[in-house]
Amino acid sequence: MSAVTDAARITAPGNPVTQSIRDSLVVAKRNLIRMSRIPEMVIFGLIQPIMFVVLFSYVFGGSMNIGGTTDPAVYREFLMAGIFAQTVTFATAGAGAGIADDMHKGLIDRFRSLPMARGAVLTGRTLADLVQTALTLLVLAVVALLVGWRTHTNAVEVLGAFGLLLLAGYAFTWIGALIGLSVRTPEAATSGGLIWLFPVTFISNAFVDSSRMTPWLRHVADWNPFSATVQACRVLFGNPGVSTSDAWPMQHPVWASLLYSILIIVIFRTLSVRKYRSATA
């Protein structure tokens, strides 16, 4: 708790924006220290995406038709953008469970007694989750390279793709924050954080070519914010999976991914902070 008690020393009002940033970083530090002391949180978070890479690559790889070919190597390159995007969005469940756990244990009440910005508790938590997500992506990228995934663009575009992934992951953690504040137990937050993610990630272009879906389902998949991030990564990585859809997000996936992520952050951060204030009033 030493990282948290540092916030108690902030007594001068100062600039509200500066104080909010400083408080958020203090809370983020507290959560990162907690994660480092519970390494199984990170380890278990890595197991699922690695299993998806192996299972989809070797079990389904030879059965998927991508661009007129069933070559498993082509499918592996097509697949990885979807796995990366799925991994960052599944961080939603962890964020929601962590906030629900803090609420359940009364830790939020301790934060309330400190002279700190109200939104800093949630912002700090989501920033800590962002660091964990970045570590997970790094390990997953190494695993992807081992199974044959390659990029075919320059370093700037590749880094841009990972930047979009982290931004999307950060946006989705705010959805998790709202869920964590809206339920009574961490178990309910975990279930609530996962149950809606499966249709979001599977009714998309992450694992199959959306052009092979029925027309109404393809329309849903093409306008899915998750699909925009996946398609943007394929474009920036130079991987197979060029979309033939006329939908705007598929024609301009990088801009669509940016706009979707920013919109989700603005909406759900506002709702989460409002919920936090009413829950701790």
* pLDDT band of 280, cuts 50, 70, 90: low
- Rounded to two decimals, the pTM is 0.86
pLDDT in tens, 153-171: 999 999 999 999 999 999 9
| pLDDT tens digits, one per residue of 67-119 | 777 777 888 889 899 999 999 998 888 778 888 877 777 666 676 666 777 77
Whole-number pLDDT of residue 13: 52
Length of the chain: 281
Other C-beta atoms closer than 10 Å to the C-beta of 36 total 10
**Could you tell me what percent of the chain has a pLDDT over 90?**
35
Can you give the pLDDT at residue 14? 60
Cα 7 to Cα 24: distance, rounded to the nearest angstrom: 10
**So what's the pLDDT on residue 102?**
75
pLDDT tens column, 106-153: 666 676 666 777 778 888 888 988 988 998 899 899 988 988 899 999
The pair of structure tokens assigned to 69 is 């070919």
pLDDT in tens, 4-24: 444 444 444 567 778 788 888
Residue 54 has pLDDT above 90, yes or no: no
Angle between the N-to-C axes of helices 253-279 and 225-237, in degrees from 0 to 180, rounded to the nearest 10 = 140
Structure confidence by residue, pLDDT tens digits, 249-279: 999 999 999 999 999 999 999 998 888 877 6
Question: If you ran DSSP here, which 8-state letter would residue 239 be given?
Answer: -
Residue 44 has pLDDT above 80, yes or no: no
Residues forming a β-bridge with 69: 66
194-to-70, 163, 188, 239 alpha-carbon distances in Å: 31, 23, 10, 28
pLDDT at 174 over 90: yes
Q: What is the mean pLDDT of the chain?
A: 83
- C-alpha distances (whole Å) from 272 to each of 96, 137, 191, 208, 253 are 11, 26, 18, 33, 27
Residue 248: give the domain boundaries.
Answer: 2-279
Give the residue from 31, 43, 165 showing the smallest Cα distance to 98. Answer: 31
Q: How many domains does the chain have?
A: 1
